Amino acid sequence: MRTPEVPSALDPISAQATALYDLLPTGICVVDDEGRVLAANTIYCDMLGYPREELIGTPVARITSADDIGRDDRMRHDLLHGALREYRVEKRYRHKQGHTIWVRVDARRGGVLPDGRPYAVGTINPIEDLKQTERELDLTRAHVNAVFEQSTIGVAETDLSGRLLAVNDRYCELMQRPREELIGVRMDQFTHPEDLEANLPLFERLVPGDQLAMDKRYVRPDGSHIWAKVAICPIRGSRGEPTQALLACLFEITARKRLEENLREADRRKDEFLAMLAHELRNPLAPIAAAAGLLKDPGLPADKLARISDVLARQARHMAGLLDDLLDVSRVTRGLVELDRSPVDLRTTVAEAIEQVRPLMEARRHAFELQVGPRAPVVTGDAKRLVQVVANLLSNAAKYTPPPGRILLSLQVDGRDAIIRVADNGIGMTPELAAQAFELFTQGKRPVDRSQGGLGIGLPLVRKLVELHGGQVRADSPGEGQGCEFTVVLPLAMQAHAAGTPAEGDALGHAARRPLRALVVDDNADAAAMLGLLLESLGHQVTVANDGDAALVAAREQRPDVCLLDIGMPGMDGNTLAARLRRMPETAEAVLIAVTGYGQEQDRREAAAAGFDHHFVKPIAMEPLIDVLSSLPAVQARLEI
């Protein structure tokens, strides 16, 4: 409202002037050059809660908020001294009851009083509702800014072409780009090339009022990409009308997409596993079905009946093995297996695993090398399960290495850990397959005849068992056709780590501290060499012979403390060799141990009669053998001399 002008003939503070002011629909206040109230209308008085007679003569500063007094005085001075003709200002008054009220003041110079002093006339309108609205808008704006900046989702404002106008911190974080690199750039510049073709038409069809949502990939500066669920909608004006801006919200779903892909991959592996399982079950079912047909013949000869019985028993064992493997991996992966923990020397573990897998390695004509470090790798664990871990890795290497191949098993101590490595020069793995090697039912490429066998459950079982022992396992391969290396890391037992040797009383530890001269005799050169390597890894001095005559020569030269002899050898068998060794002065007191495939009671009696002290049936269990070696009276007597 325009500030009213007081007629020049009318005294601005007279009763007539005041009556005129009361006719106006706004607050009126007249002040002199010292800022005292000279006149005020009823609306102004009611606005401040003062009666008119109390306001007249009161300095305006007394009823003005302290924060506004200085500005008020300066503007009034400039107005009354000609620097300003009029001014408008928003200010705060102090109501008589103590609260603050917001007003807008429009002031202009009114002329001079009868005594010659200048005065000013102001119209005052309350704007408390406006200020409340502004406060609410400021609060809303603050909330919006807080949501925008602190949101866990990426938020961006764009124009209708998708050019970025504003982005929050999370958006910058998702894109891994600073804000200055994003502003002014179209969103599709960071879109994965494979998603551009599908996303651009959607964006171009976005018209004011429409909304769209999509899953898409964004490429980061390092070349990696993320998945995001993107929702885009128009920003609306105060009356709900679409503006020339869009709001884009990005919620990262990379983990969800990865999970979906893993589920699809698991489903694919499950299908492959079921196909392989069907194949593995059909193999024994075929001879079983054929045998069932033959058994219908009442005149079947006894020799054929015996052969059929052998086939049925063999195939039944094969099927039982498959089922046992499936049940075992199920129990382990579901946490239903409790470990029988005790101190375990991994040299014993390795020895027993080699004995289990040796027939497969020999059948496939693989060259095998064993490397064992000088420190005794004692861990706390389940001896049988640890053998299962190493045997699985060796079996895996033997199956997936085309014959004749090379397999290396290394057992070392590194700081606080025992390290088992199984390496081969087999078919190798792609990086993708190596990353998934320990997932259930994962299998590499197989020939059509599936001759390599297996259900894809061995390595998952290995990983779970190693983890149950507090260890880790990993698979490495340079690529297809370049072999594989599997590494198992197990924490050493506390006493072994502290002493650097096996705990006192450990059988294998005693064996390692009692070096023997050992003679190993077996016509199977690989079997003899393997047993010799194992004994050497325990600290013994070993001589290997492959027939009786060579063994007699070696015995005369080496004077062994202990002889480990195969019985079923061509030419001079083990019993004959044992008898001759007993008659030789160099070996009359040696300990003779039969290591043989013959385990019947009659075989044991014949071996004892020939002079054997101990009898072990192949595949040999290393723990009992080590117990024997560590407690031989003759050996202890020699060592004490």
The single-letter DSSP state of residue 505 is: T
Tell me the three-class secondary structure of 48-90, residue by residue: HCCCHHHHCCCEHHHHECHHHHHHHHHHHHHHHCCCCCEEEEE
Res 26: pLDDT: 93
Same domain, 435 and 487: yes
Specify the number of domains making up the chain.
5
CA distance 474 to 492: 18
Please check whether residue 1 lies inside any domain of the structure. Answer: no
Q: What is the CATH number of the domain that holds 69?
A: 3.30.450.20
Please check whether residue 604 lies inside any domain of the structure. Answer: yes
CA distance 93 to 124: 11
Res 455: pLDDT: 59
Strands 27-32, 118-126: parallel, antiparallel or unpaired by DSSP?
antiparallel
CA distance 62 to 279: 100
Question: pLDDT by residue (tens digit) across 46-78?
Answer: 999 999 999 999 999 999 999 999 999 999 999
Same domain, 222 and 89: no
- Kindly report each contact of residues 540-547 with a partner whose C-beta sits within 8 Å and lies 24 or more positions away, as own/partner: 540/511, 540/515, 540/516, 540/629, 541/515, 541/516, 541/517, 542/518, 543/517, 543/518, 543/519, 544/520, 545/519, 545/520, 545/521, 546/521, 546/522, 547/521, 547/523, 547/571, 547/572
Same domain, 323 and 431: no
Distance set, CA 246 to CA 56, 148, 198, 419, 554 (Å): 57, 14, 20, 58, 92
Please check whether residue 326 lies inside any domain of the structure. Answer: yes
Chain-centroid distance, C-alpha 76: 72
Same domain, 350 and 493: yes
**pLDDT averaged over 10-residue windows placed end to end, the chain, 641 residues:** 50 81 92 93 95 94 94 93 92 94 93 89 91 75 66 84 88 91 89 80 60 87 91 77 82 90 79 67 75 82 85 80 75 79 92 90 92 88 92 93 94 93 93 78 51 65 90 92 94 64 41 74 86 82 94 94 92 94 93 87 89 86 81 43 26
CA distance 419 to 371: 11
Question: pLDDT by residue (tens digit) across 330-369?
Answer: 777 777 778 888 999 999 999 999 988 999 999 999 999 9
Picking from 508, 507, 467, 512, the residue whose alpha carbon sits closest to that of residue 490 is 467
Question: pLDDT by residue (tens digit) across 406-459?
Answer: 999 999 999 999 999 999 999 998 888 878 778 766 665 544 334 454 556 788
* Single residue among 333, 367, 397 that ends a domain in this structure: 333
Please check whether residue 36 lies inside any domain of the structure. Answer: yes
Please check whether residue 70 lies inside any domain of the structure. Answer: yes
If one counts every other C-beta atom within 10 angstroms of the C-beta of residue 101, the result is: 18
Res 454: pLDDT: 56
Res 181: pLDDT: 92
* Single residue among 499, 527, 550 that ends a domain in this structure: 499
**Sheet strands side by side (includes 591-596):** 541-545, 517-521, 562-565, 591-596, 614-617
Q: Can you give the residue range of the structural domain that contains 316?
A: 258-333
CA distance 347 to 373: 10
Same domain, 188 and 301: no
Contacts of 566 (CB under 8 A, 6+ apart): 521, 522, 523, 524, 527, 528, 574, 595, 596
CA distance 121 to 2: 11
The single-letter DSSP state of residue 339 is: -
Res 511: pLDDT: 42
CA distance 428 to 401: 8
Question: pLDDT by residue (tens digit) across 505-518?
Answer: 344 444 444 688 99
Strands 614-617, 591-596: parallel, antiparallel or unpaired by DSSP?
parallel
Measured at the CA of 199, the angle between CA 195 and CA 205, to 5 degrees, comes to 170
Same domain, 154 and 104: no
3-state class (DSSP) for residue 38:
strand
Please check whether residue 101 lies inside any domain of the structure. Answer: yes
Same domain, 223 and 356: no
* Single residue among 97, 126, 155 that ends a domain in this structure: 126
Question: What are residue 318's DSSP bridge partners?
Answer: none
Buried-state track 419-443, b at ≥16 Cβ within 10 A, e below 16: bbbbbbbbbbbeeebbebbbbbbbb
If one counts every other C-beta atom within 10 angstroms of the C-beta of residue 413, the result is: 19
Q: What is the CATH number of the domain that holds 303?
A: 1.10.287.130
**Would you give the end-to-end CA distance of the chain in angstroms?**
124
Same domain, 200 and 277: no
Please check whether residue 2 lies inside any domain of the structure. Answer: no
Same domain, 540 and 631: yes
Q: What is the CATH number of the domain that holds 606?
A: 3.40.50.2300
Same domain, 321 and 345: no
Q: Report the percentage of the chain scoring pLDDT > 90.
A: 43
Same domain, 516 and 610: yes
Same domain, 103 and 76: yes
Q: What is the CATH number of the domain that holds 427?
A: 3.30.565.10
Res 312: pLDDT: 83
Measured at the CA of 196, the angle between CA 251 and CA 254, to 5 degrees, comes to 30
Distance set, CA 419 to CA 1, 368, 390, 409, 537 (Å): 91, 18, 12, 10, 15
